[in-house]
Amino acid sequence: MSLYTEPATTITDEALTAADHIRLADRHAAHNYAPLPVVIASGHGCWVTDVAGNRYLDCLAAYSAVNFGHGNERILAAARAQLNRVTLTSRAFHHDQFGPFSAELTALIGKDQLLPMNTGAEAVESGIKVARKWAYQVKGVPDGRANIVVAANNFHGRTTTVISFSDDPDARADFGPYTPGFRAVPFGDAEALAAAIDTDTAAVLLEPVQGEAGVIPPPPGYLARVRALCTERNVLFIADEVQSGLARTGYTLACERYGVVPDMYLLGKALGGGVVPVSAVLADADVLGVLRPGQHGSTFGGNPLACAVAREVVALLATGEYQERARQLGEYLHERLAELVGRGLTAVRCVGLWAGVDVDPAVGTGRGVCERLLAHGVLAKDTHGQTLRLAPPLVIERAELDFAVDALRTSLGEIAGR
Ligand SMILES: Cc1ncc(COP(=O)(O)O)c(C=O)c1O
């Protein structure tokens, strides 16, 4: 009898095989993901090891939440020190990590204030609430009429309001009724954006680089035009940098790369150092100042452990080292991936150390390539059928990028040769 059929109390973790783990998850957890058949037991830097002791190069980095590498010593030391002191107080009281965290992150990002939350989707929800309140209280939009303009093919998370303005049928179907007040325009089309804004528009909400859509960079000049339109029409420009932010694109913020300063940043993922979920909304006081006590909150948002970890993340970012690595290694990755265009790939887009790679439909699917990559010791994730995202931890070395690209070349060759 397989271990997974025995009562849970008799199961010791050491006795479980990868197949046992996968069967346990299949039987006892919702099937809202279709993970590759690998069961990770440990991670260090840009490598993870499975329960059988096989090593894999992590080219997803938990969708950029592990930018600083698995088990980053500085981040772990900050977490351990805080674990021994206090981990959760709620915001009913002050604690000694919150003020310094707020001061240090706002200084790094260049905004007056922050609003701490946990997940990326919560940061997006919070940004929407703040923008709506700003529209009613500051801009003077009539009650209940505020609208927010978003981009087609966006990905901002999974909550009910956020999927209300998604156009991905998987994300949306059968989860209605949907939250009203959003209008979508094509990403990169400034004229469509200008036409969608009216006197009741509170905000324009965009990912500066569309991540889940397949690492789609903005067309030249687009974000500057968005900035100008928002200023002219008295609309908040909200940049969702949950995935693009915190060094991934070679800059602390992707907006910096494109020379624009939005009114509000949404941060998440890497802010928690791959240890705890930490997200934040950052804006100046004339925007975040619309919130008064009791109007918004979160039991875990801004907790001592999260703040201690995020302070170390801010300290790592303040050196500029990770941004520099992402810029240089990103150029190298782009060069190496470009060799495969016409040899199994139809296109490659790199923004810093973040690549969207389109697999030739004549060769195979994104998922099929990920499965072959797994066999060659590389973890990557497909999106929208034909595309792979590559976003390794920023601690990766050139030789490891070579390992990943060589594995991709071999995988494409194997699939094409079938
Ligand atoms: C741009 C963007 N915003 C928001 C989110 C949601 O973050 P979370 O999964 O932490 O809720 C994601 C997640 O991939 C994202 O890429």
Q: What is the pLDDT of residues 197-232, one digit of tens each?
A: 999 999 999 999 999 999 999 999 999 999 999 999
What is the tens place of the pLDDT at every residue in 11-52?
688 889 999 999 999 999 999 999 999 999 999 999 999 999
Please say whether the beta carbons of 382 and 59 come within 8 A. no
The model carries a pTM of: 0.97
Q: Beta strand 236-240 with 264-267: parallel, antiparallel or unpaired?
A: parallel
Verify whether residue 269 is a known catalytic residue.
Answer: yes
Ligand 1 atom nearest 240 alpha carbon: 1
In this prediction, residues 292-317 reach a mean pLDDT of: 98
Q: Which amino acid is at 400?
A: E
Please tell me the predicted confidence (pLDDT) of residue 6.
Answer: 55
The catalytic position among 68, 98, 155, 182 is: 155
Q: Which two tokens stand for residue 258?
A: 């494109």
59 pLDDT higher than 60: yes
Ligand 1 atom nearest 124 alpha carbon: 4
7 pLDDT higher than 60: no
SS3 of 305-373: the string is HHHHHHHHHHHHHHCCHHHHHHHHHHHHHHHHHHCCECCCEEEEEECCCCEEEEECCCCCCHHHHHHHH
Residues 87-109, buried b or exposed e (16+ Cβ, 10 A)? beeebeeebebbeebbebbbebb
Q: Which two tokens stand for residue 72?
A: 């980053």
The dihedrals phi and psi of 198, each to the nearest 5 degrees, come to -130, -170
How far does residue 120's CA lie from ligand 1's centre (Å)? 5
How far does residue 343's CA lie from ligand 1's centre (Å)? 32
How far does residue 36's CA lie from ligand 1's centre (Å)? 20
Verify whether residue 155 is a known catalytic residue.
Answer: yes
Alpha-carbon distances of 225 from 66, 238, 310, rounded to whole Å:
32, 14, 32
8 pLDDT higher than 60: no
Ligand 1 atom nearest 241 alpha carbon: 1
Mean pLDDT over each residue of the chain, to the nearest integer: 96
Helix (H, G, I), strand (E, B) or coil at 163: helix
What is the tens place of the pLDDT at every residue in 66-86?
999 999 999 999 999 999 999
155 pLDDT higher than 60: yes
What is the tens place of the pLDDT at every residue in 290-300?
999 999 999 99
Ligand 1 proximal residues by C-beta, below 6 Å: 63, 119-121, 124, 155-157, 207, 211-212, 240, 242-243, 268
Cα–Cα distance measured from residue 60 to residue 136, given in angstroms and rounded to the nearest whole number: 40
Cα–Cα distance measured from residue 389 to residue 216, given in angstroms and rounded to the nearest whole number: 11
Atom 4 of ligand 1 has which residue's CA nearest to it? Answer: 156
Please tell me the predicted confidence (pLDDT) of residue 10.
Answer: 62
Cα–Cα distance measured from residue 129 to residue 291, given in angstroms and rounded to the nearest whole number: 9
In this prediction, residues 243-256 reach a mean pLDDT of: 98
Please tell me the predicted confidence (pLDDT) of residue 281.
Answer: 99
Q: What is the enclosing helix (H) or strand (E) of 19? A: helix 18-28
**Residue among 122, 126, 156, 166 whose CB has most ligand 1 atoms within 8 A, to mutate:** 156
Confidence category of residue 1, pLDDT binned at 50, 70, 90: very low
- Ranges of beta strands (E only) in 165-311 are 182-185, 201-206, 236-240, 264-267, 279-283
Q: What is the DSSP letter of 300?
A: S
The catalytic position among 20, 58, 240, 382 is: 240
Please tell me the predicted confidence (pLDDT) of residue 135.
Answer: 99
Q: What is the enclosing helix (H) or strand (E) of 106? A: helix 98-109
Please tell me the predicted confidence (pLDDT) of residue 418.
Answer: 72
Beta-sheet strand order (sheet of 381-383): 345-350, 355-359, 387-390, 381-383
Nearest to 291 by CA among 59, 76, 113, 65: 113
